[in-house]
Amino acid sequence: MRSLLRTVDRVTLRDIALVCLADALVGASFGAIGVSGGLPVWVPITMSLLVFAGGSQFAAVGLVLSGGGAVAAVATGLVLNARLLPFGFTVADVLEGPWWRRLLGAQLLTDETAAFALLQPDRRRRRAAYWLCGVALFAVWNASVVLGAFAGGLIGETGALGLDAAFPAVLLALVLPSLTDRRTRAAALAGAVVAVAATPYLPGGLPVLLALLGLVFAGRGAAAGPDPVPDAEPAPDPESVPDPEPHPGNGKPVGRTSRGSGPSAPITEEVH
């Protein structure tokens, strides 16, 4: 852990701490909502350890509390977590080593860990940011869910606190630095329009998946290739170079002396 702290810069450490703070509020809200809705205390705690996906946990618990079955809750969680598949491809280079380490790293894959990894300039820092953020979030999230679950009977109406707004606000703050690129901006805007337009007509989770259609705009820009580089200025013609000034002492030029013929003749300098 100390080596990870030394690798990551202070700004990233500060941002990870802020994300952990926001997720602690959301985790406490999740635990309180589950228990105050009638679930046993062990249900949100166990779900947080095994699933570790805030959006899927909220959707599954909400569906169960509204009368849905366990199969529907699991299917909803799988649909929501399907968005992590493209994230896995983008941060695959940070997971290496034996199978158990890669499995543990996959468990820590979230929107936040992927965002912090992609913001780093090189592979070494990506790996450090991913593991540091993942371990910190896992510890903070589960601890806050435990506290929220035991306090669920005391909070009462948890929706009145507005804690659910902290999670999307943090994600938006993480995404904003990546929108400086024109193609990324176009893809994000198109995906947001698709998701918002589909929200009234589709179940929760599907609009997020449809937002991946925005990648078509990024791919189209990449297919066009980078902007053409202007041609370099042509080299000056040797014949057009003015003759050197005569040496003030003996009248001989200090410029080049041909020891051959043609343009490939070497250029030397007479030293007296």
> What is the pLDDT at residue 125?
87
Mean model confidence pLDDT for the chain: 75
pLDDT of residue 268: 46
In the three-class reduction of DSSP (H, G, I as helix; E, B as strand; rest coil), residue 92 is classed as helix
Give dist(CA 58, CA 69) in Å, integer: 15
Burial class (CB in 10 A: 0-12, 13-18, 19+), 234: exposed
The structure tokens listed for 20 are: 């952990």
- Predicted local distance difference test score (pLDDT) of residue 140: 94
For residues 144 and 23, what is the distance between their CA atoms, to the nearest angstrom? Answer: 8
- Burial class of residue 150 (count of CB atoms within 10 Å of its CB; 0-12, 13-18, 19+): middle
- Pairwise CA distance, residues 235 & 155, whole Å: 78
Residue 137's closest CA among 44, 19, 13? 19
**Residue linked to tokens 């290739």:** 225
Q: What is the pTM of this model?
A: 0.60
Q: What is the pLDDT of residues 45-75, one digit of tens each?
A: 999 999 898 878 887 887 787 777 778 778 8
pLDDT in tens, 72-120: 778 878 877 887 888 888 888 888 878 888 888 889 998 889 888 888 8
Going by C-beta distance under 8 Å and a sequence separation of 6 or more, which residues neighbour residue 208?
80, 83, 195
DSSP annotation of 205 reads T
Of 207 and 106, which is predicted with more confidence?
106
CA-nearest of 23, 16, 20 to 115 is: 16
Query: For residue 272, what pLDDT is reported?
Result: 46
pLDDT reading at 227 higher than 60: no
| Two tokens, residue 138 | 């896992």
Among left, alpha and beta (phi > 0; psi -120 to 50; other), residue 63 is alpha
- The domain limits of the chain are 2-162, 181-225
